[in-house]
Amino acid sequence: MKKIYVYDSTLRDGAQAQGISFTVEDKLKIVKRLDKLGLDYIEAGNPGSNPKDLEFFQRVKNLNLKNAKIIAFGSTRRAGIKVEDDDNIKSLIKAGTSAIAIFGKSWDFHVTEVLKTTLDENLSMIYDTVRYLKDQGKEVVFDAELFFEGYKDNPGYAMETLKAAYSAGADCLCLCETTGGSFPTEIYEVTAKVVKEFPTVIGIHCHNDSGMAVANTIMAVQAGAVQVQGTMNGIGERCGNANLCTVIPNLQLKLGYRCIPEENMKYLSSASRYLSEVANIPHDERAPYVGSSAFAHKAGMHSDAVGKNPKTYEHIDPSLVGNMRTILMSEVAGRSAVLNLVNHVDSSITKDSPVTKKILERLKELEYEGYQYEGAESSFELEIRKILGKYKEYFQLGEFKVIVNEPSLYNINSSAMIKIKVGDQEEITAAEGDGPVNALDKALRKALERFYPQIKEMKLTDFKVRVLDSTSATAAKVRVLIESTDGEEVWTTIGVSTDIIDASWKALVDSIEYKLIKDFEENGTVKDCVEDLFHSAE
Domains and CATH numbers, the chain: 5-260 (3.20.20.70), 296-387 (no CATH), 396-535 (3.30.160.270)
Q: For residue 532, what pLDDT is reported?
A: 38
Q: For residue 490, what pLDDT is reported?
A: 81
401-436 per-residue burial string, b: 16 or more CB within 10 A, e: under 16: ebeeeeeeeeeebbbbbbbbbbbeeebebbbbbebb
User: CA gyration radius for the chain?
Assistant: 28
The phi, psi pair for 396, rounded to 5°, reads -120, 140
Q: For residue 406, what pLDDT is reported?
A: 67
The residues, ordered by sequence, that sit 6+ positions from 430 with a Cβ below 8 Å of its Cβ are 415, 416, 417, 418, 443
- Going residue by residue through the chain (538 aa), what tens digit of pLDDT does each one get? 899 999 999 999 999 999 999 999 999 999 999 999 999 999 999 997 778 888 999 999 999 999 999 999 999 999 999 999 999 999 999 999 999 999 999 999 999 999 999 999 999 999 999 999 999 999 999 999 999 999 999 999 999 999 999 999 999 999 999 999 999 999 999 999 999 999 999 999 999 999 999 999 999 999 999 999 999 999 999 999 999 999 999 999 999 999 999 999 999 999 999 999 889 888 898 999 999 899 988 756 777 788 788 899 999 999 999 998 877 765 555 565 677 778 878 888 887 788 888 888 887 788 778 777 766 778 888 888 889 988 888 888 888 888 887 665 555 578 999 999 998 899 999 998 888 888 888 899 899 988 998 888 888 888 888 887 656 666 678 889 898 888 778 888 999 998 888 899 899 999 999 998 888 776 554 443 333 333 333 3
Instruction: Please give the distance of CA 464 from its chain centroid, rounded to a whole number.
Output: 21
d(CA 406, CA 272): 40
Q: For residue 391, what pLDDT is reported?
A: 85
d(CA 322, CA 286): 15
Q: For residue 530, what pLDDT is reported?
A: 37
First vs last Cα of the chain: how many Å apart? 58
The CA dihedral of 240, 245, 248, 254, to the nearest 10 degrees, is: -110
d(CA 512, CA 444): 9
d(CA 486, CA 489): 6
**DSSP class per residue in 387-443:** HHT------EEEEEEEEE--TTT-SS-EEEEEEEEETTEEEEEEEEESSHHHHHHHH
Say if CB 233 and CB 226 are below 8 A apart: no
Q: For residue 102, what pLDDT is reported?
A: 98
| Alpha-carbon separation of residue 483 from 125, 464, 500, 516 (angstroms) | 51, 9, 16, 15
**Residue 494: closest CA among 395, 363, 391, 333:** 363
Helix (H) or strand (E) holding 140: strand 139-145
Q: For residue 250, what pLDDT is reported?
A: 98
| Beta-strand pair 478-485/490-497 | antiparallel
Q: In the chain, how long is the greatest CA-to-CA distance?
A: 85
Helix (H) or strand (E) holding 484: strand 478-485
Helix (H) or strand (E) holding 359: helix 354-369
| Beta-strand pair 296-297/227-230 | unpaired
